[in-house]
Amino acid sequence: MRRPFFCLMKSMETYISKNARARLTNYLILKSVIEVLFVCALAVGFYLRAFTPYFKGWLDAADAKHVEGWAVNLIEPQSHVEVQLYIDGQFAGDRAADTQRLDVKAFGRTRDEMHGFVFDTPQLPAGQHEARVYAVHASSQGQRRTLQLIGKPLVFSVDAR
């Protein structure tokens, strides 16, 4: 006749000393802590690969005619960042941030001043609207693209004509 599992465990307690049980418990706790740290390091690594924190920029102005600002990739400051405009959550256009901005160069972010962008605002109904500009980051050899908000969203008004 087989004995139930809990009876086997009870009888095994007599074979393991208290000191050995304490060491085993400590090793299991240490193993768990190491696993948590490993998973956290993996998560941070994947996050930094997919969502680069190296884009800097600002949305300077938004109105019924134009949305403008600047964007720089601090890892590759000579490259021109692709930016996308969203108005009221709807895609409104994309372009490279390659318009002259002397203030960006003067501030020391890049070696050249060609990191501005200007979007023509599409025809919008009268009222309040929100403009958001995102930098496009391609990873995994361009297979994955993520967006990073540039600056803060700007709210602007369009008057009835």
Confidence of residue 146 (pLDDT cuts 50, 70, 90): confident
Total domain count, the chain: 2
Do 60 and 9 share a structural domain?
no
pLDDT, tens digit (0-9, with 9 covering 90-100), for 78-124: 889 999 999 999 999 999 999 998 888 888 778 888 999 999 999 99
Same domain, 84 and 46: no
Sheet holding 66-73, edge to edge: 55-62, 66-73, 114-120, 99-100
- The pLDDT of residue 74 is 86
User: How do residues 37-81 score in pLDDT, each as one tens digit?
Assistant: 999 999 998 887 766 668 899 999 999 999 999 999 888 888 899
**Same domain, residue pair 71 and 41:** no
Same domain, 43 and 87: no
Domain residues for the domain of 116 are 55-158
Same structural domain for residues 59 and 43? no
Beta strands in 82-124 (DSSP E): 82-87, 90-96, 99-100, 114-120
CATH of the domain at 121: 2.60.40
Q: Are residues 37 and 116 in the same domain?
A: no
Return d(Cα 24, Cα 148) in angstroms, integer. 46
On whether both 41 and 64 belong to a single domain, the answer is no
In a shared domain, residues 68 and 31: no
Pair 97, 75 in one domain:
yes
